[in-house]
Amino acid sequence: MSKITEYVARLPDANGHIHYPQVEHDIWQELYLRQVGNLSQYACLEYRQGLKELNLSGDKIPQLTDIDKVLLDTSGWKTSAVPALISFEHFFKLLANREFPVATFIRSKEEFDYLREPDIFHEVFGHCPLLTNPSFARFSHAYGKLGLAASKEDRVFLARLYWFTVEFGLLQAKDGSLQIYGGGILSSPGETQYAMGDKPQIRPFNLIDVLRTPYRIDIMQPVYYAIESIRFLDEIVKMDIMAGVREAKKLGLFEPLFEPKSKAS
């Protein structure tokens, strides 16, 4: 996770307040207005309930101290201000302590529809609403503890589990209808429309399959994995995930459904 970035996070003052210039509040407002219209149609109920509880402003970037008050009351979580990208070690340690990392910068207009690295809109608008949900909060905590104890090699496989659930997970009801719970989709107007269209493959969640599926962070996803409800995250926690990692390592990765980055346009 620790790579070169062009963004610089804004640091909180002695009172925990982060000062953003108006131009960055304007970007938040435009992102919020574009995406909030998609929520009633595409976002899962638990996310919409959490968004209501957080009472995020559509006009300005929220303060993490305000978000913390809600998260601590609902699930015992809080946020942690971080730079644009952090190491796996730092990431897992925060989750294991029930602290959700939030990069305190906002994207440029050039990366409006799809951002390769997490900004405050992605983290707060995309993820924090579901941290009010017990199942999502328990899964995130268990994942952090698992990753903290894992080897460097095993963490690469665990990253795929996070990618296809917390970041790009879908819910698929018995009637086939789809809803979004993954923050990487919910925070991206472009990926929301794409994920709900007919281009990507939608596969039922299978732990071994998820751990064997390669992905790229700089493209729309060619495949998503769907669970039947947010409560199914509790079932994943009960699985022997590290045994799944060992099995996935034996079987090897699936053939990618995308071109290598060097060949992609």
Q: Annotated catalytic, 19?
A: no
Distance set, CA 102 to CA 63, 128, 244, 248, 250 (Å): 11, 9, 29, 30, 35
Q: Catalytic residue among 24, 46, 167, 191, which?
A: 167
Does residue 203 contact residue 209 with C-beta atoms inside 8 Å? yes
Q: Annotated catalytic, 90?
A: no
SS3 content of the chain, % helix, strand, coil (to 5): 50, 10, 40
Q: Catalytic residue among 75, 117, 127, 140, which?
A: 127
Q: Annotated catalytic, 141?
A: no
| Beta bridge mates, 227 | 171
Q: Catalytic residue among 80, 135, 140, 187, which?
A: 187
Q: Catalytic residue among 24, 46, 75, 122, which?
A: 122
Does residue 182 contact residue 161 with C-beta atoms inside 8 Å? no
Instruction: Report the first-to-last Cα separation within the chain, whole angstroms.
Output: 23
Q: Annotated catalytic, 167?
A: yes
- For the annotated catalytic residues, the residue numbers are 122, 127, 167, 187
